Amino acid sequence: MAEIDALVGGPEPEGVTAGELAEWLGLTANRVSTLARQGVIPRNADKRFPLRAAVKAYCEHARAGATGRRADSELAAEKLRLAKEQADKIAFANARARSELIAAAEVEREWAGVLRDVRAAFLALPSRAAGKLGHLTPHDLAALDAEVRDVLMELAEHE
């Protein structure tokens, strides 16, 4: 702790060696030298490192790297999302090619035909009943017809 107090409150030391700076930063001396060659950490003409400036430069470098990693992870997430969308698109096209999917208009057209046939069958019910049940009066057939039409109207209202 005395070292830190001396550095913060005292005059700037002339410089520290790569090994000493490595201890401060939790790196190896080789990594410190590499960072100096890359221009990340300043170095004096005597090959020593100004401690405060070197620590500050390394911290800025580490922060920039962390920001880059964050951006890289966001980019990776976007690429993953895009890949999933492309896979879904291909799977959809393949399913359609195998006739596993039908166009909505085709389904609607088919169901409209089925429902028209069901409606016609229900509307024909009173006349079919009259042919099979001869004892029904015209009043009975009219009541049956009215009931069938009421049921069809109720079904139409529940769309």
Over the stretch 87-112, which tens digit does the pLDDT of each residue have?
A: 999 999 999 889 888 889 999 999 99
Evaluate whether residue 142 is within a structural domain.
Answer: yes
Return the pLDDT at 159. Answer: 62
Q: Which amino acid is at 138?
A: P
Q: Are 109 and 62 in a shared domain? A: no
Lookup: tokens for 48: 């020593």
Return the pLDDT at 111. Answer: 94
Lookup: tokens for 101: 């999917």
Evaluate whether residue 53 is within a structural domain.
Answer: yes
Return the pLDDT at 76. Answer: 83
Q: Are 157 and 145 in contact (CB under 8 A)?
A: no
With CA atoms as reference, report the closest residue to 123 among 141, 140, 148: 148
Burial class for 58, CB neighbours closer than 10 Å (0-12, 13-18, 19+): buried
Return the pLDDT at 123. Answer: 94
Evaluate whether residue 81 is within a structural domain.
Answer: no
Residue 76: how many other CB atoms lie within 10 Å: 10
pTM for the structure as a whole:
0.40
Burial class for 40, CB neighbours closer than 10 Å (0-12, 13-18, 19+): middle
Q: Give the total number of structural domains in the chain.
A: 2
CA-to-CA distance for 86 and 116, rounded, in angstroms?
A: 40
Return the pLDDT at 103. Answer: 85
Evaluate whether residue 20 is within a structural domain.
Answer: yes
Return the pLDDT at 67. Answer: 64
Q: In which residue ranges of the chain is pLDDT below 50?
A: 1
Residue 133 domain boundaries: 104-157
Return the pLDDT at 4. Answer: 57
Domain boundary (24, 42, 69) is at: 69
Evaluate whether residue 30 is within a structural domain.
Answer: yes
